[in-house]
Amino acid sequence: MRRFLSVITLLLAIVSMKAEETKCPIIPLPNKIEMHTGKLTLHKELSVSFSDKNLNSLVDLFGQSVALFSDTPWVIRKNKSNSLIQLFIDPNTNFKSEEYLLEVLPSGIKLSASGQNGLFNGMQSLIQLIIFSEKNKEKVILNCCTIHDQPRYGWRGLMLDESRHFFGKEKVKQLLDYMALHKLNKFHWHLTDQPGWRIEIKKYPKLTTVGGLGNYDDPNAKASYYTQSEIAEIVAYAQQRFIEVIPEIDMPGHASAANRAYPEFSGGGSEAYPEFTFNPGKESTYQYLTDILKEVAVLFPSKYIHIGGDEVHFGNQQWKTDAGVQKLMADNNLKDLVDVEHYFIRRMEDSIQHMGKKLVGWDEISGSGVDKNSSLLMWWRHDKKQLLPEALAKGYEVVMCPRIPLYFDFVQHESHQYGRRWSTDFCPIDLVYKFPGTELDPSNPKIKGIQANVWTERMQNNERLEFMIFPRISALAEAAWTQDKQKDYENFSNRLTNMLPLFERDKIDYFNPIEPDSKAESKAIK
């Protein structure tokens, strides 16, 4: 009988928890929510108190963000005490760095954390409560609640490829704004590849003036790239929003744009992929690339530099006949071109270590012998599932970003024709939401988190970029933040109905998965 009552009690608790979740509009869904009786009325002038003067800029950003995502401006007043919104930092609490406690009471709002990162996350939840709650003329009425929350994963990432098509700093800033609202905290910036080189390197100016020419569709398009001052501006913008920007400088493959600028460092390519690689048989190549990465390391305070390391076999055929590569193989007892590739990766790892950074690469680097303590790999080949447990068994830290379901260049609805598929597989929003499930042992502590990758071969303009990211970004955020036991796709879909009008208001060409329109895709292609 006692066992029966225990089961009933558990079921009632689950039902009660789910009922409370339905009253919470926040994406990603917090991991612990308690709804209370009572309401709190906010006017368009809010007072905020805090004891730590270092929170000044965080409060300013809160005011800017509330205004950014609201229909009308808000006025934020800073007071020393007795404000409607009170912020508390207690570094002695046992809260983790991203954890926060948000209390909405009839008398006011209390937000506490062990540091600014936790407060920032709590502010994003409060912003969503404000913009998605009941409104009455110049007032916003909040349901009283207590939210105690922290993320499932520390790495909650989005990658943007700007080599294939270039979008510019204002679009990147808008993307960072929405990442922050969704508590995504890693922006992986793919800045170099075959079509174009998009980052200014002062020691090698032709990388942008020559390598920056063209894009995936038009090799004669004007040079497009970010100056170092623009990079610094975007990195600072991201830092304010607790987003780490991880640069990617592709090597030894995907080097065609760089090789147009400085052909003396080219290792050749193949008929389909001309001038695809850097030359691993020239000592000057390593100095050249180290010089580049030194400038990159100064621009990006992130502890990571991503060097790609993928798909080298697409264009390394000329290594077989290159005298320098053949000598390298003989001198270092390298038996084949894969060994040459791995030698190159280890050399660049050594350079990156001396810069005080960690190397990041795609899952191909798992066999290269790079130091497990100074590198991180991204598992992307979903058809090679064994690579994930193999890398974890070797002791590597891993970010999961498999093509299916986390490549946002794949179509997102069965009616869509413009985009990639893997045979019959594609990436609908529900698969994004349900990732990683339990098949991949996602609780392994070496799994740092998940990331969606936005490859832009078929994203020629802002509208197409938006259509492929929004609202899958919302599903990604909840997949990365919310524990499996809290996740419920139907509940998520209900909350997504609040988010879609926000996209609409910001003139974002999003796809509506709740009421799919077969004509929406063609409108976004333009």
Tokens 């990603």: give the residue: 28
Q: In 276-414, at which residue ranges do the beta strands (DSSP E only) sit?
A: 277-278, 304-308, 358-362, 375-379, 397-400
Q: Return the number of other C-beta atoms located less than 10 Å from residue 131's C-beta.
A: 22
The token duo for 449 is 């988190």
As given in the structure block, the two tokens for residue 374 are 């100074």
Say whether 99 is catalytic.
Answer: no
193 catalytic, yes or no? yes
Tokens 């303009």, residue located:
461
Give the active site residue among 21, 98, 161, 193: 193
CB neighbours of 147 closer than 8 A, spacing ≥ 6?
24, 26, 30, 32, 33, 34, 100, 101, 102, 103, 122, 125
In degrees, to the nearest 5, what angle opens at C-alpha 486 toward C-alphas 492 and 513? Answer: 15
Ramachandran sector of residue 268 (left: φ over 0; alpha: ψ -120 to 50; beta: rest): left
Phi, psi of 186 (to 5 degrees): -130, 120
C-alpha triplet 163, 456, 357: angle, nearest 5° = 50
Question: Are 428 and 513 in contact, with CB atoms under 8 Å apart?
Answer: yes
306 is catalytic: no
Return the residue matching tokens 């997949």: 479
SS (H, E, C) 370-385: CCCCCEEEEECCCCCC
Which is the catalytic residue, given 190, 254, 413, 416?
254
Residue among 230, 295, 311, 506 flagged as catalytic: 311
SS3 of 437-478: the string is: CCCCCCCCCCEEEEEEEECCCCCCCHHHHHHHHCCHHHHHHH
- Exposure string (b/e) for 212-251, b if CB count within 10 Å is 16 or more? bbbbbeeeebeebbbeeeebeebbebbebbbbbbbbbbbb
CA distance 142 to 470: 27
- Longest Cα–Cα distance in the chain: 81
Question: Exposed, middle or buried: residue 36 (CB in 10 Å: 0-12, 13-18, 19+)?
Answer: middle
Structure tokens, 69: 């995502």
CA distances, 367 to each of 100, 346, 389, 455 (Å) = 40, 11, 13, 25
Q: Are 398 and 157 in contact (CB under 8 A)?
A: no
Return the active site residues.
193, 254, 311
